[in-house]
Amino acid sequence: MNKSPDKILANITAMGMYVPEYVLSNAELEKTVETSDEWIQSRTGIKERRIVAKGEATSHMATNAANKLLAARGISAEEIEVIIVATVTPDMMFPSTAALVQNNIGAKNAWGFDLSGACSGFLFALQTGAQMIETGRYKKVIVIGADTMSSIIDYTDRNTCILFGDGAGAVLLEPSCKYGVIDAKMRIDGSGGKYLHMKAGGSLNPASHDTVDNKMHYIFQDGKSVFKFAVRGMADISFDISERNNLKSEDIKLFIPHQANKRIIDGSANRLGLSDEQVFINIDKYANTTAATIPIGIVEAFESGRLIKDDNLIISAFGAGFTCGAMYIKWGMNHAL
Ligand code: COA
């Protein structure tokens, strides 16, 4: 799947991230549910997660990430043509979080929309934004992954409350003839919906006293089943994208996987034959921020010098739906330092 010589590529030219200030540690969770720091760290790799302040929502985090991106690129929001926000925790059912971000940053020439792909949402959004650039129709597309998972977590349920956190990351896509998204593979399998979902708040079970009393506005997860599918799903799709682009393990500079569980990440890394230095992990600090894990990972990897121009980057994810995806990116930004 190597690019043809005249193809326009969608290159990441700026980025930004935001996590809330409040740190919810494992020790803090030990006080509210029957769990332990040792259990959480050994089963998931998570030490702490960030949680929004009261009144702060997905659009606030997404706006912060987008503003940092604009400052880093040194452009006005008026130059932005499209804003895509991947999220399963929009501020409201409508208007879209993209519309709220557009207004907050003053992107008065943009259109945009939200995209629901759960933990694979950022990958799906990046693929969508990339194709807008590749057609030649658009020159500046912002793709954001942002989720306020604390808004749909039952903090009395130890099976789920330890796993998730809040955060946002944003990237700017611009045309390039050499750098950017080279190849992507995405999948959706609705038969997995029964293992991970939120029962109420949509058109099937609109909000009512019953839905609230029965805790139907929280995440339901059959963790063991999701784990089984995720290990296999993310490893397989990461391997496929590498193989069909003739990338051997030594050709991959960095693998930035979705951060849901350190053991799921290790499974994919092993399948690709990667060493620890080739795998980006920050699940210890932020837990699973759903659509935000990968863009946050991209920002932190770049800012810490782990990604430099001409590097081969693989990103991949697995999530509710089930959804999964992997992408091969030829990194095109010089290191900031
Ligand atoms: N603290 C202590 N014990 C806990 C616990 C917690 N926070 N959560 C669950 N347990 C218990 C379970 O109740 C179970 O007890 P039991 O055997 O008496 O029933 C025991 O620990 C083992 O549970 P199990 O499900 O086998 O643990 P696990 O090793 O599979 O880890 C998850 C559980 C949730 C961490 C793991 O299944 C997972 O990460 N699943 C995928 C989650 C995910 O990625 N979701 C997002 C998709 S993108």
- For 178-209, the pLDDT digits (tens) are 999 999 999 999 999 999 999 999 999 999 99
Provide the pLDDT for residue 211.
98
Residue 111 pLDDT greater than 80, yes or no = yes
Q: How far is the CA of 179 from the centre of ligand 1 (A)?
A: 40
- List pLDDT tens digits, range 18-64: 999 999 999 999 999 999 999 999 999 999 999 999 999 999 999 99
Q: Which residues contact 94 (CB under 8 A, 6 or more apart)?
A: none
Mean pLDDT, all residues of the chain: 96
In the predicted structure, residue 280 carries a pLDDT above the cut 70: yes
Q: What share of the chain has pLDDT > 90, as a percent? A: 97
Averaged pLDDT for residues 203-218: 97
141 Cα–ligand 1 center, Å: 38
- The phi-psi region of residue 114 (left if phi > 0; otherwise alpha if psi is between -120 and 50; otherwise beta) is beta
Ligand 1 centroid to residue 332 C-alpha, Å: 39
b/e map of 152-173 (b: 16 or more CB within 10 Å)?
bbeeeebebbbbbbbbbbbbbb
Which amino acid is residue 221, in one-letter code?
A: Q
Say if residue 1's pLDDT is above 60: no
Residue nearest to atom 24 of ligand 1 (CA): 224
Is 80 exceeded by the pLDDT of residue 318? yes
Q: Which of 252, 253, 302, 311 is nearest to 282 (CA)?
A: 302
Neighbours of 305 (CB within 10 A): 10
> Which pLDDT band, with edges at 50, 70 and 90, does 163 fall under?
very high
Please check the confidence at residue 337 and state whether its pLDDT lies above 70.
no
Nearest to 129 by CA among 240, 254, 12: 12
pLDDT band at 5 (very low <50, low <70, confident <90, very high): low
In this predicted structure, the answer to whether residue 3 has a pLDDT above a threshold of 70 is no
226, with CB counted inside 10 A (0-12, 13-18, 19+), is buried
Does the reported pTM lie above 0.85?
yes
**Pocket, ligand 1, Cβ cutoff 6 A:** 35, 39-40, 43-44, 119, 158-159, 162, 221, 223-224, 226-227, 230, 260-261, 264, 288, 318-319
pLDDT at 336: 57
Q: Say what the pLDDT of residue 335 is.
A: 74
CA of 151 to the centre of ligand 1 (A): 21
Contact 127/294 with Cβ under 8 angstroms? no
121-134 and 293-303 helices, crossing angle to 10°: 70
Q: How far is the CA of 132 from the centre of ligand 1 (A)?
A: 40
Q: Which of 159, 231, 262 to mutate to test the pocket of ligand 1 (most atoms within 8 A of CB)?
A: 159
Catalytic residues: 119, 258, 288
Residue nearest atom 34 of ligand 1, based on CA coordinates: 223
What tokens appear for 112 in the block?
């945009």
Could you tell me if 150 and 287 are in contact, meaning their C-beta atoms sit under 8 angstroms apart?
Answer: no
Please state, in angstroms and rounded to a whole number, the distance separating the CA atoms of residues 281 and 284: 8
Which atom of ligand 1 lies nearest, measured to the CA of 221?
45
Of 224, 258, 268, 318, best ligand 1 pocket probe by most atoms within 8 Å of the beta carbon = 224
* pLDDT-above-70 percentage for the chain: 98
Best of 43, 123, 293 to mutate for ligand 1, by most ligand atoms within 8 A of CB?
43
User: Distances in Å between the alpha carbon of 83 and those of 79, 109, 172, 304, 333?
Assistant: 11, 10, 9, 27, 21
H or E element: which one contains 42?
Answer: helix 37-44
Rounded to the nearest angstrom, the gap between the alpha carbon of residue 104 and the centroid of all alpha carbons in its chain is 21
